[in-house]
Amino acid sequence: MGYYTSELIEEILKSEKAKELLGWFPPVYSDAYVFLWLLQEVGASIKRMEQWAEEFADQVMPQRATWSLPYWEERYGIIPNESLSKEQRRNQIVNKRRTRAPMPPKKIEDIITNITGIETKIEENTGKNHFTVVCSGYIPPGLMKMVRKEINKLKPSHLIYRIISSIFYDTEITKYLASAASVLKTYTVKEVV
């Protein structure tokens, strides 16, 4: 809905919501100083409420949560660690939600990838009761500690694992191969006298 204008309206009403609300009132209020200030405050309050409602919708899922992270951590029994980034804290919550079901290797791969941000593969049966976690990138020692802690929680207790963290580079190598083949036949020469 459109609104009418005056110098006083332009001076006082800065909120778009207030200008929208002004369209609902007759033009006789265009020079009502106190009314315009009240309308400005109501419009600003409505705008803040709309922003809060939009932000609140983000808090429903931990992947987008900001101020509700402590509540999510409390719900899943995670000790809040303010030194971690919000993204790392979100990943902890998501990982905790995923660990309530049986743990196939693909799920463990996803969780470790989520923690480290590095592509991870699990090689099963690399020895008797062994598996290998292959991370294709460098994992800092502090993060490696978190990865080990998470794997220890997730894996069956009878399995032993090792973590390989390496960086692979794509390179082109030209290889030359040479060979020689020969067919030999041995003759025995005897002297006849």
**What is the mean pLDDT of each successive set of 10 residues along the chain, which is 193 residues long?**
74 86 80 87 91 88 90 88 90 81 82 89 89 89 90 85 79 76 79 79
pLDDT at 101: 62
pLDDT at 89: 92
Within this chain, do residues 82 and 43 fall inside the same structural domain, yes or no? Answer: no
Within this chain, do residues 127 and 165 fall inside the same structural domain, yes or no? Answer: yes
pLDDT at 3: 65
pLDDT at 2: 60
Domain membership of residue 89 as a residue range:
68-98
Within this chain, do residues 106 and 146 fall inside the same structural domain, yes or no? Answer: yes
| Nearest residue to 124 (alpha-carbon basis) of 161, 95, 151 | 161
Within this chain, do residues 109 and 156 fall inside the same structural domain, yes or no? Answer: yes
What does the alpha-carbon distance between residue 93 and residue 86 come to, in Å, rounded to a whole number?
A: 11
pLDDT at 47: 92
Instruction: Answer whether residue 156 is part of any domain.
Output: yes
Count of domains in the chain? 3
